[in-house]
Amino acid sequence: MHTPLIEPTVEAIPYQTDSTVYLYRVRKLGRAVFIDSCSNQIEGGRYDIVSAEPAFTINHTYISPTQTNATGTTKQPSPFEKIRRKLAQSRSLGDPPQGLPFMGGFIGYLGYESGMELEGVQLTADRKVNLPDIKLGWYEWAVVNDHLEKRCFLVALPGFDKKKLSSIKNILVNSDATKPANIPFKLKTPFISNTTFSQYSATFEKVIDYIHAGDCYQVNLSQQFSSSYSGDTWDAYQRLREATPSPYSAYMEFDQGALLSLSPEQFISLNRKQVATHPIKGTRPRGDSKKDDLILAQALETSAKDRAENLMIVDLLRNDLGKSCVPGSIEVAELFKLRSFSNVHHLVSSITGTLRDDTNSIDLLTGCFPGGSITGAPKRRAMEIIAELEPHNRSLYCGSIGYIGANGDINMNIAIRTLVCDNNKIYCWGGGGIVADSEVEMEYQECFDKIDRLINCLPLS
Active-site residue identified among 113, 140, 265, 443: 265
Q: Is 162 a catalytic residue?
A: no
What is d(CA 207, CA 204) in angstroms, rounded to the nearest whole number? 5
Strand locations in 319-382 (E) = 331-340, 344-354, 376-377
- Asked if 103 and 93 touch (Cβ cutoff 8 Å), the reply is yes
CA distance 264 to 231: 26
d(CA 155, CA 102): 8
What stretches of 214-329 adopt beta strand conformation (E)? 218-230, 248-254, 257-263, 266-271, 274-277, 280-285
Beta pairing, strands 257-263 & 248-254? antiparallel
Do residues 209 and 49 make contact, with C-beta atoms less than 8 angstroms apart? no
Q: Round the CA-based radius of gyration of the chain to a whole number and report it.
A: 22
CA dist., res. 276 & res. 263, Å (int):
17
Catalytic pick among 86, 135, 281, 450: 281
315, 304 Cβ separation under 8 angstroms: no
Return the beta strands (E) in 61-139 as ranges.
Answer: 105-110, 134-139
Catalytic residue at 390?
Answer: no
Contact yes or no for 429/165 (Cβ under 8 A)? no
Phi, psi of 310 (to 5 degrees): -60, -45
Question: Which residues are catalytic, by number?
Answer: 265, 281
